[in-house]
Amino acid sequence: MPVTHEPKNLSDQPLVEHLRELRSCLIIAFTAVAVASIVAYYFIEPISHWLFRPLTGVLPKGSTLIFTSYQEGFFFISSWRSSAA
């Protein structure tokens, strides 16, 4: 779905037209990323349970997962939401 009407030869477009097209594409892309992030944050708990199911399935009874790397901050949200409920 083109945002603007493009001429047959893109080299016929002046620089300003290329920049306008780039701006509109970037706005659409950033909006899509923002909307997807909001939706993913809403469903973070089911997503994390789905991702960890293979790991928790092989753990011994009564043990839990321990994260000791930089990704730990992302998984804090899931445990925080679970403990708040």
Residue 6 lies in a domain: no
Tally of domains within the chain: 1
Nearest partner of 18 among 31, 4, 30, judged by Cα:
4
Residue 75 lies in a domain: yes
Q: What is the pLDDT along the chain (85 residues), one digit of tens a residue?
A: 555 665 566 667 788 888 999 999 999 999 999 999 999 888 887 887 888 788 778 888 888 777 677 666 566 555 545 554 4
Residue 41 lies in a domain: yes
Residue 1 lies in a domain: no
Domain of 51 in residue numbering reads as 15-84
Measure CA 48 to chain center. 14
Residue 20 lies in a domain: yes
The overall longest dimension of the chain from CA atoms, in Å, is: 68
Taking a C-beta distance cutoff of 8 angstroms, is the pair 4, 21 a contact? yes
Q: How far is CA 43 from CA 33, 36, 54, 64, in A?
A: 15, 11, 19, 22
Residue 57 lies in a domain: yes
Nearest partner of 74 among 47, 36, 39, judged by Cα:
47
What pTM does this model have? Answer: 0.54
Residue 2 lies in a domain: no
